[in-house]
Chain A
Amino acid sequence: MSFPKYKPSRLATLPQTLDPAEYDISLENRRAQVERLAIRARLKREYLLQYNDPNRRGLVVNPALVRWAYARANVYPNCRATPKNSLLGAVAGFGPLILWYYILKTDRDKKEKLIQEGKLDRTFSLSY
């Protein structure tokens, strides 16, 4: 039975067993994995030292969280005006205004024309 080829997409990534990088046992890859593990072990040690310190009274502050929150909050200083940015901003800013102006205007003009000709049913009903 032949299976269709699994193509990864943005919301469905390639499973680890189908990924050729998983089976890469070259020296450089192994060295990279060892370095990453060393970093992770060092961080784990720092965390556990703080966590299990009997004199600690408060929270263990996660600097990665602080950096993440700071980066997300301070987007503006790193922004600058590029053509793509400005275009996107103009479209998002003025687009809806113009679009809704035209939709509402044409709809109301049509209604007004019908009212002037007396063709619209304008009987009043309070609740329905």
Chain B
Amino acid sequence: MLPGPYPRTPEERAAAAKKYNMRVEDYEPYPDDGMGYGDYPKLPDRSQHERDPWYDWDQPDLRVNWGETMHWDIDMYTRNRVDTSPTPISWDDMCKQLFSFVAFMMFMFWVGHKYPVYQPVAPKQYPYNDLYLERGGDPSKEPKLVVHYEI
């Protein structure tokens, strides 16, 4: 028995629920807006991570039983991929903490860039009258006296 078009009458819904091994009350097809789902049931968007690891599944790697209708996106919700299991704190709190930290650090780096703080430095001082001879100065002439200190 293969999937078919969207069920319109209650009898079609009951037949589809029976086909997919679900209760008629549980069976809820995707809304009929022409996106191509047909009568495939809309199961809760839960990853396979959330399923009981200790239950004796028929397919333990996929945590799925024989004959149990698979989620439309089961290949996304496998245990290698998307995980929707509960987190220690809610998603909003995690987002807030992460983005506030990143924003704060960006702000501090920007402030540090705009107002740099370092040890006081002065221009480099060279001996021998600013290296007069090393820079190719005339040895016969008297160099200009350069003094880097004040008494």
A residues lining the B interface (CB < 8 Å):
4-15, 32, 35-36, 39-40, 43-44, 46-47, 60, 62-68, 70-72, 74-82, 84-85
Contacts and interface: CB of A to CB of B under 8 A. Distances in A.
Q: How large is the interface on B (under 10, 10 to 19, 20 to 34, 35 or more residues)?
A: 35 or more
A43 B1 contact: no
Contacts of B50: 13
B23 A47 contact: no
B88 to A, nearest CB: 9
Interface of B: 1-3, 5-6, 19-23, 25-26, 33-38, 40, 45-46, 50, 58, 64-70, 72, 74, 82-87, 89-93
Contact of B67 (A62, A70, A84): A62
B3 A67 contact: yes
B8 to A, nearest CB: 13
Nearest to A80: B34
A16 B16 CA distance: 29
Contacts of A14: 86
Q: Which 7 A-B pairs have the closest CB atoms?
A: A75-B36, A47-B66, A43-B67, A9-B91, A78-B38, A80-B34, A15-B86
B143 to A, nearest CB: 43
Contacts of A11: 82-84, 91
B67 A46 contact: yes
A63 B67 contact: yes
26 contacts: A4-B89, A6-B86, A7-B90, A7-B92, A8-B86, A12-B86, A13-B46, A15-B86, A35-B23, A43-B67, A60-B66, A63-B1, A64-B70, A68-B69, A68-B72, A68-B74, A75-B36, A77-B5, A77-B36, A78-B37, A79-B35, A79-B36, A81-B34, A82-B33, A82-B34, A85-B35
B21 A39 contact: yes
Contacts of B72: 68, 71-72
Contacts of B19: 67
A26 B146 CA distance: 99
A76 B36 contact: yes
B65 A40 contact: yes
Nearest to A40: B65
